[in-house]
Amino acid sequence: MVGTEKGDGMKNTTLFIIDDEKGIRMMLKEVFERTGYNVFTYANPFDAKMAINEKNPALILVDYRIPEMKGDQFAHVIQEEGFRIPVILMSGADKEEMHDKIHSDAIVEIVEKPFNILDIIQIVEQNLYDFVNISE
C-alpha cells in the first residue's frame, strides 16, 4: 500500500531502480531502504519488466542510457502493456536537452546525474504522493 502522507517514508512501498552502474543501484537501494522503502534493483530493463507483476512497484527510477533499451523506451513499453507506474528518468545529460528527447508521457520527472541524495528522496516522495492523490 502506498502511503498518502507526504514525507511519511511511504512505508512498505516498492521501488524499482534500473541502472547498469552497480554503484548507483547499490547507493540508491541503501538510501531508499533506510527511508523505509522496499527496493529492487536491476541492471537491465528486461529483468525489471519481468518482475513488475510479482513485485508491483509504486515507482520506477530508470537510467536513460541503459543497454538494449533507453529509459524512456522502457517507460513507453510498460505503459503500452497497461501498467500505470510513474517513472523517473535519471540522466547525465542536461534536463532541458532531455525534455526534447523524451517521447513518453509515462516519465513524470527527469533527474540530472549527479544528483543530491536529499533531492532524489524528495522527488520520489513528491511523485508518489502526487500519483496516489491523482489516482484516488
Q: What is the pLDDT of residue 68?
A: 87
Q: What is the pLDDT of residue 30?
A: 98
Strand partners, 14: 38
Q: Using one digit for the tens of pLDDT, what is the confidence trace for 87-124?
A: 999 998 777 777 776 766 789 999 999 999 999 999 99
Q: Using one digit for the tens of pLDDT, what is the confidence trace for 33-45?
A: 999 999 999 999 9
Q: How far is CA 75 from CA 12, 23, 134, in A?
A: 23, 22, 19
Q: What is the pLDDT of residue 103?
A: 62
Please, what are the domains in the chain? 14-125 (3.40.50.2300)
The DSSP element (H or E) to which 90 belongs, if any, is strand 87-91
Q: How far is CA 125 from CA 8, 41, 88, 121, in A?
A: 8, 18, 11, 6
Predicted TM-score (pTM) of this structure: 0.88
